Structure 1
Amino acid sequence: MRRIAGGALIALLIAQAGVAGVLTATLEDGTEIARFEIPEGSGWCVLWRHSVKGFEVADCYENRGGRMVLVRSHLPDFAAGLDHIPGRGRQVSDGGGGYWIEDLDEPVPGDAYVLRLGRGNVDHRLRVGDDIQSLSERAPRARVRIALTGDRD
Structure 2
Amino acid sequence: MIRAFRGGLVALLVSAFGALADDLVATRVADGAELARFSVPQGSGWCVLWHHSVKGFEVSDCYENRAGRMVLVWSHLPDFAAGLDHIPGRGIQTSDGAGGYFIRNINEAVPGDAYILRPGLGPVDHRLRVGAQTVSLSAIAPRARVRIALVGQVEK
TM tier, shorter chain?
0.7 to 0.9
Letter in 2 for 1:82: L
Question: For residues 26 and 87 of structure 2, what CA distance do their matches in structure 1 show?
Answer: 28
Please list, as runs of the form range in 1=range in 2, the aligned pairs for 1:3-152 lying within 5 A after superposition: 19-28=20-29, 29-151=31-153
Question: For residues 48 and 20 of structure 1, what CA distance do their matches in structure 2 show?
Answer: 25
Question: For residues 35 and 87 of structure 1, what CA distance do their matches in structure 2 show?
Answer: 33
Question: For residues 65 and 76 of structure 2, what CA distance do their matches in structure 1 show?
Answer: 19
- Give the alignment's TM-score, normalised by structure 2: 0.84
Letter in 2 for 1:83: D
Question: For residues 19 and 26 of structure 1, what CA distance do their matches in structure 2 show?
Answer: 20
3-state SS of paired residue (2:123): coil
Letter in 2 for 1:59: D
Q: Do the aligned residues in 1 keep the contact of 2:21 with 2:150 (CA within 8 Å)?
A: no
Question: For residues 104 and 64 of structure 2, what CA distance do their matches in structure 1 show?
Answer: 13
Question: For residues 97 and 22 of structure 2, what CA distance do their matches in structure 1 show?
Answer: 33
- Give the alignment's TM-score, normalised by structure 1: 0.85
RMSD (Å) for aligned C-alpha atoms = 1.6
Letter in 1 for 2:22: G
Structure 1 runs (4+) deviating above 2 angstroms are none
For residue 20 of structure 1, report the CA deviation from its aligned partner.
4.7
Gaps of 5+ in 2: 1-13
Letter in 2 for 1:23: L
For residue 97 of structure 1, report the CA deviation from its aligned partner.
1.1
Question: For residues 33 and 138 of structure 2, what CA distance do their matches in structure 1 show?
Answer: 14
Gaps of 5+ in 1: 1-14
Show CA shifts across 1:88-135 (max 9, x none).
100011111111000000000000000111010000000001111101
Q: Do the aligned residues in 2 keep the contact of 1:89 with 1:101 (CA within 8 Å)?
A: yes
Show CA shifts across 1:39-79 (max 9, x none).
00000000000000000000000000011000000000000
